[in-house]
Amino acid sequence: MSAMRWRLLAPRNVRLLDRGRSERSAGGNGAQPARALSSPPVSASPPGRTLSSLSATRRGLPKAKMSENGVVPRAKVLTIDTMNPTVKNVEYAVRGPIVARAVELERELSEGMKKPFAEVIKANIGDAHAMGQQPITFFRQVLALCSYPELLNDSTFPDDAKSRARRILQSCGGNSMGSYSASQGIDSVRQDVARYIERRDGGVPCDPNNVYLTTGASDGIMTMLKLLVCGEGMTRTGVMISIPQYPLYSAALAELGAVQINYYLNEEKCWSLDISELQRALDEARNHCNPRALCIINPGNPTGQVQSRECIEDVIRFAAKEGLFLMADEVYQDNVYAEGCQFHSFKKVLFEMGPEYSDTVELASFHSTSKCYMGECGFRGGYMEIINMDDDVKAQLTKLVSVRLCPPVPGQALMDLVVNPPQPGEPSYDNFIKERSATLSALAEKAKLTEQILNTVEGISCNPVQGAMYSFPRIIIPEKAVKEATDKGQQPDMFYCMKMLEETGICLVPGSGFGQKDGTYHFRMTILPPRDKLQILLNKVQEFHQKFTQHYS
């Protein structure tokens, strides 16, 4: 545990100690704060719970004779009314009500109930292994060796795996992955991450002290947002996020009680980012909050667009001009498929723009072991690199991350391998390259297939899936269906997706969970199922859409 000197009795704020960041004075017209992104909560129970037995009696201990002594059950300490109000605004569509229903259907199927489909296809979450993607052999070998070092004596493991494992174990307390690591992450891993970043960015220096290992990228993103959000009323922190967005951001902002500032990506131009739209959103937001941060996901989720270099430069200039902290979510950086598209890291572009920008713009970049060609979501590995952060604030950040003690060590070990993979000449190199290429090219193929098939359907239009792991097609929902949905108190695209689930067993996430222009509807579908299954899936979507449109015309 850290040797923190902590005075018990005086509660302190763990707040951003900023010096000299100019607080924009808010305008005085008292406009309504931007509404947090929300779809009206469709009541559902958490998946994996027996819905039929969610009665209050299963909640507590066995109900013997209640009110035996005439005691009226007293009101609880923690109720919907007394709980933290911001938590009530938190929604996370990726694991929301439709997933609950999907899990229920799976259970019904396993119990022998007859359905119009043989299996539920969970195309809702970016979980590659769940959909059959194979792990990288080398990574699993090293992790196995690290977990059970006895295997270092086993001749079936290649030498390069063994030497990596030894190196990792040596940097762990007591040579065990079961020891706490430093809160910021294992030193040698952070150094390896720094070197990876330097190589990736063509030599732009990276200081390992600016690297924080995290429990998946989500942990880093939450932590940074925590640091950024403060103020009251007109000075409450506003955070710009793209619409559509990955709902971790909206959930985090709701939980922190921050103001969500929506900037719309341009669907007509392949989900590109227009600076004029950023400006519009920012100027409007300045009337009711204090905008301090700009979040961008590149390659995009759910939209899959890969930003051009020019666009990234424009965003950096915009952030510099307007005094915004940049949050660059780059977890899909290896998932780039379209011709003519290339991943450009924000860090690299920033530094290539010269000291006017690279010395001043505050940036946090996020990466993870959950996506790309690794797909190891269950390990919860990730890192963030912090650029140009005020030193005092950095000290607070270091304190903040210590509260959750340390990121999972297996995830740290995995990140070490991701940034330090087999090299030419090493025994595992050929196989590694083969596996990595196979996975990435399969994804590229599936991205194209998805776009092609969906675009043949009347009423569905799909932008090219340039990168990431999803397609986010626009769907036309007939007026009658919109009405039926609204009468039910449901978002029309949720209504659509629920119907699709019930009739085809395909689980998607409605666009309303990610945000979209008013009056438009979308769904997000992953491109992860194996090619043949994906083909079937896409055909079923096509069939369903035609039937649905006909039924409600």
252: left (phi over 0), alpha (psi -120 to 50) or beta: alpha
Whether 283 contacts 276, CB under 8 Å:
no
Rounded (10°) CA dihedral 281, 285, 287, 293: -130
Which one of 24-32, 79-87, 279-287, 312-320 is the stretch in contact with another protein (CB under 8 A)?
79-87
Q: Which of 22, 52, 61, 355 binds another protein (CB under 8 A)?
A: 61
Single out the segment in contact with another protein by CB under 8 A; choices: 39-47, 284-292, 359-367, 457-465. Answer: 39-47
Lay out the site mask for another protein across 409-438 (x = CB under 8 A, - = otherwise). xxx---------------------------
489 binds another protein (CB under 8 A): no
Scan residues 153-192 and list those touching another protein (CB under 8 A): 154, 172-173, 176-181
Decide if residue 376 touches another protein (CB under 8 A).
yes
Q: Does 66 bind another protein (CB under 8 A)?
A: yes
Q: Which residues pair with 514 in a beta bridge?
A: none
| End-to-end C-alpha distance for the chain, whole angstroms | 64
Binding mask 315-354 for another protein (x = CB under 8 A): ----------------------------------------
Residue 530 in contact with residue 130, Cβ under 8 Å?
A: no
- What phi and psi values does residue 255 have, to the nearest 5 degrees? -65, -40
Task: State the number of binding residues for another protein (CB under 8 A).
Answer: 99
Of 102, 125, 197, 331, which lies in the binding site for another protein, with binding defined by CB under 8 A? 125
101-120: which residues touch another protein (CB under 8 A)? 103
Q: Which is nearer to another protein, 190 or 226 (CB)?
A: 226
Least distance to another protein, CB of residue 311, Å = 29
Q: Are strands 474-475 and 460-461 parallel, antiparallel or unpaired?
A: antiparallel
Is the peptide bond between 510 and the residue preceding it cis, with omega within 30 degrees of 0?
Answer: no
Contact 455, 461 (CB under 8 A): yes
User: Of the candidates 192, 201, 255, 267, which one interacts with another protein according to CB under 8 A?
Assistant: 255
Region of 68-76, 237-245, 269-277, 437-445 interacting with another protein (CB under 8 A): 68-76
Q: Which residue of 19, 59, 114, 321 would you call a contact of another protein, by CB under 8 A?
A: 59
Query: CB–CB of 324/60 below 8 Å?
Result: no
Binds another protein by CB under 8 A, chosen from 78, 205, 354, 553: 78
Measured between alpha carbons, how far is residue 201 from residues 270, 419, 468 in Å?
26, 13, 20
519 is an interface residue for another protein by CB under 8 A: no
And the tokens for 261?
Answer: 């500032």
How far is it, in rounded angstroms, from Cα 152 to Cα 135? Answer: 21
Closest C-alpha to 347, from 478, 176, 205, 245: 205
For the CA atoms of the chain, what is the radius of gyration? 25
**Applying CB under 8 A, which part among 66-74, 108-116, 386-394, 538-546 lies near another protein?**
66-74
Task: Among 26, 241, 248, 494, indicate the residue that binds another protein (CB under 8 A).
Answer: 248
> Nearest distance from residue 154's CB to another protein, in Å?
7
